[in-house]
Amino acid sequence: MKAAVITFPGSNCDRDLATAFEKAGADVTRVWHKDTALPEGVDVVGVPGGFSFGDYLRCGAIAARSPIAAAMIRHAERGGYVLGICNGFQVLTETGLLPGALMRNAGLKFICRRVDLRVATADSAFTSGWAAGDAVRFPIAHHDGNYTADPETLARLRGEDRVAFTYLDNPNGSMEDIAGILSANRRVLGLMPHPERAVEEAQGGADGMGLFGALLGGMALV
């Protein structure tokens, strides 16, 4: 399976994300924000965490209008997989690939610690390695992770089983404790916690490999 990991000015988790994909068995190519096309045959695009373009305007707003973002959108519209983590989740909402917005944390402070999550659905390639209701622990590191959406969007996400992860102890004020959501076709996932920082015990836990292993295995079956 082939993965492409995007780097924007200000990305700081791109190497971590590439390593996690490689650890799960993917052939990884790094792409730059000014590239106009993804590598041939890419199965999944990774949009990493960090502070793309210094978080000017809104987090992810400038990155969402970069040349590579247009290629990523075309990839998603063709049914390709996309994984956006932290700032990558913000980028995906700014492109419109995922609904809602990530607002300033309710406590108005940057949060950096491990959090416990509930797997809200197992019905996606990203979460199929778990059962709904399972608990996992990933790190978080964000200032604007407060997931916000209008009531109709929240109802649609619930009704279509598109909430992927929820916080067990909400750290940032996210509506309905949402930590990650899926696109309508279930092939785009955005989440604020960092599974790529939890892929080996030396990092304090390897729960993140459940996501990367399931994703690569699930894509191989399609």
φ, ψ at 184 (rounded to 5°): -60, -35
Which residue is catalytic, options 13, 33, 75, 196? 196
Is 13 one of the annotated active-site residues of the chain? Answer: no
In 3D space, the residue among 98, 44, 14, 32 whose CA is nearest the CA of residue 69 turns out to be 32
Q: How far apart are CA 218 and CA 120, in angstroms?
A: 18
Which residue is catalytic, options 86, 94, 142, 200? 86
Q: For residue 210, give the H/E element and its range.
A: helix 209-221
For residue 2, give the amino acid letter. K
Largest Cα–Cα distance in the chain?
43
Is 194 one of the annotated active-site residues of the chain? Answer: yes
Q: How far apart are CA 64 and CA 88, in angstroms?
A: 9
φ, ψ at 10 (rounded to 5°): 100, -10
In 3D space, the residue among 183, 143, 177, 156 whose CA is nearest the CA of residue 45 turns out to be 183
Q: How far apart are CA 102 and CA 116, in angstroms?
A: 19
Distance of CA 140 to the CA centre of its chain: 12
> Which residues fall within 8 angstroms of residue 134, CB to CB, at 6 or more apart?
118, 119
First-last CA distance in the chain:
11
Active-site annotation, residues: 86, 194, 196
